Amino acid sequence: MALRIPSGTRDVLPEEMAALRRIEQALLATFLEHGFGEVSTPTVEYEDTLRAAEIGLGPAYRVVDDHGELLALRADMTVPIARVVATRYADSEPPLRFCYAARAHRAVRPHRGQAREFLQAGVELFGVPGAAGTAEVLTVLSRALEAAGLREFHLGLGDARIYPSLLSAFDVPEDGRAKLLAELTTRDLAGLDRELLALDLTPEARELLSRVPRMRGSAQVLEGLPVHVADAVADLREILSLLPVDVAGRVIVDLGRAPRLGYYSGHVFEVYDPALGEPLGGGGRYDQLLGRFGREMPAVGFALGVDLLHEALAGEARGETRLGGQGS
Amino acid sequence: MNRYGLTIAVPRGALMDGTLERLEAIGIDTAEVRSNDRKLLFEDVGIVTMRPSDVPTYVESGAADIGITGKDVLMEQREHLVYELLDLDFGGCRMVLATKAGPDLAAEALQRLGVMRVATKYPRIAGEHFERTGRQAEIVEVKGSVELAPITGLAEAIVDLTATGTTLAENGLVIREEIATTTARLIANRVALRVRAEAVDRVVEALRGI
């Protein structure tokens, strides 16, 4: 018989394992240095718990145990750690800081080279609201990547509230809002423009709703934005001012970010490296998630794909500073 | 490398001429691409050529920073995490449901058997169309020459892309329904879109200005 392993999973042999372990340890050491305590949670949780989080991405793998209970493999560590905070730290004074390096599981489509099981390293910060909390984890994120040896990375920073605020400000009717947000979530900016033309809007509103999601770059993109998004803009400015200068220098302000997962409520960010065609991690604020577990508390965190980080490091070492790897 | 410093995925086939015309118009020398039919990678001008249906795969992975492909491909392969930046307004086609001329055998099958067989290269687009319109269809995926299916009795109907309808007509098929219209689109890798924002925007502006 063929001794197969499920698609999207893999064995790691000593040479690679040593490299992955070094990366993981560099990340964890940085997290600990910044006051984040390492936690471990069960690989399987009750499916109810993972679903109660109402995240966009539900658990992909379920099993019925010997008591007839429905268990599921976690899709990330954010929900299990939120559960820990809501139960084990129910009476603790915030702020609370946790970090982890752990495996999680997600559904994959066949033949796409996606991982079904992957190692994530990240932090979760509870009880520090707004820009201050976000700036703290962005700084830890940046320091951890530096400790792992990554040099060329950028931090894409946006706010999931921006587009919805604009839609409210211009009184876009409910069905139109849904259509525009769907185009933005599916990354179809041509479709966005088409839907905008179909709506009864002033030329100014139409121009702004088309332009803002395309804006990304230095802090300059925050200039001249309408008053309707003042809260988000003020927040993003504050984050930038709170970051150490070198970290702020890595930020690409990105006004086109639609919420990545259902639980993100405000600031969102992703890590980009020119040596890798996909983000190697990301995170954001999820201020409503804890409330669903019975304890209202603002929260922010990120997760890095350790395998992706390894790939990006290898790419940088080969001198692939541009995407595509065809040389310049 | 071209003046924008971006690797561009160019579709072979029906969209190729229109694509190269536009790239030429924004200052990318495409002479070698036009003259060499076998070569796939043109490093000097930052162009890679491939089947249109492979463009999203290359762009998503970052093997190309930006690319041009048909909306039909993007609709069928929606799982690719790429950004669609611009409707390039050429290569216009219609996604249609067609059957043999004469009495509508597909409608008849639906009435008689409750289900019709539909051959297509676009199983997702076809499947969703029938779901949306509340009809049962058995989708048969084929890789090419879809017109053959109704003629040989493999299926009662086809869902396929057509520009002029000539091939359909030549094979004795008539269009019964129009499902969508498609044109060529400019897509971008999600990391390139941020890290090489300025270059990507220059391409978009130049293409808009043609």
Evaluate whether residue B1 is within a structural domain.
no
Q: Are residues A191 and A234 in the same domain?
A: yes
Contact A60, A106 (CB under 8 A): yes
Evaluate whether residue A216 is within a structural domain.
yes
ipTM over cut 0.85: yes
Evaluate whether residue A32 is within a structural domain.
yes
In percent, the amount of chain A with pLDDT more than 90 equals 69
Q: For residues A241 and A227, which has the higher predicted lDDT (pLDDT)?
A: A241
Q: Are residues A114 and A42 in the same domain?
A: yes
- The DSSP call for residue B6 is -
Chain A residue with minimal CA distance to B86?
A: A190
Evaluate whether residue B121 is within a structural domain.
yes
The yes-or-no verdict on residue A262 having pLDDT over 90 is no
Contact B84, A190 (CB under 8 A): yes
* A298: preceding bond cis by omega (within 30 degrees): no
Evaluate whether residue A6 is within a structural domain.
no
CATH of the domain at A28: 3.30.930.10
Please give the tally of structural domains in chain B: 2
- The DSSP call for residue B149 is H
Q: Are residues B140 and B79 in the same domain?
A: no
> pLDDT tens, B98-112?
999 988 887 888 888
Which tokens in the block code for residue A157? 């920073």
CATH of the domain at B98: 3.40.190.10
CA distance A254 to A216: 4
Evaluate whether residue A3 is within a structural domain.
no
- Kindly report the pTM of this predicted structure: 0.90
Q: Are residues B19 and B55 in the same domain?
A: yes
Domain range for A64 is 12-152+276-321
Evaluate whether residue B3 is within a structural domain.
no
Domain range for B68 is 8-91+183-208
Q: Where are the alpha helices (DSSP H) in B48-160?
A: 55-61, 71-76, 105-113, 123-132, 148-152
Q: Are residues B157 and B200 in the same domain?
A: no
> pLDDT tens, A111-165?
777 888 999 999 999 999 999 999 999 999 999 999 999 999 999 999 988 898 8
Q: Are residues B41 and B28 in the same domain?
A: yes
Q: Are residues B98 and B159 in the same domain?
A: yes
Which residues of B are less than 8 Å from A187 in CB distance?
81-84, 190
- Chain A interface includes B180 (CB < 8 A): no
> pLDDT tens, B150-203?
999 999 999 999 999 899 999 999 999 999 999 999 999 999 999 999 999 999
Confidence of residue A326 (pLDDT cuts 50, 70, 90): very low
Identify the CA nearest to B6 among candidates B183, B187, B184. Answer: B187
Q: Are residues A37 and A103 in the same domain?
A: yes
* Optimal mutation site among A272, A323, A328, interface B, most CBs of chain B within 10 A: A323
Q: Which residue has the tokens 């990330």?
A: A76
- Chain A interface includes B113 (CB < 8 A): no
CA distance B91 to B141: 24
Q: Are residues A178 and A216 in the same domain?
A: yes
Evaluate whether residue B2 is within a structural domain.
no
CA distance B206 to B210: 7
Q: pLDDT at position A259, please?
A: 58
Evaluate whether residue B174 is within a structural domain.
yes
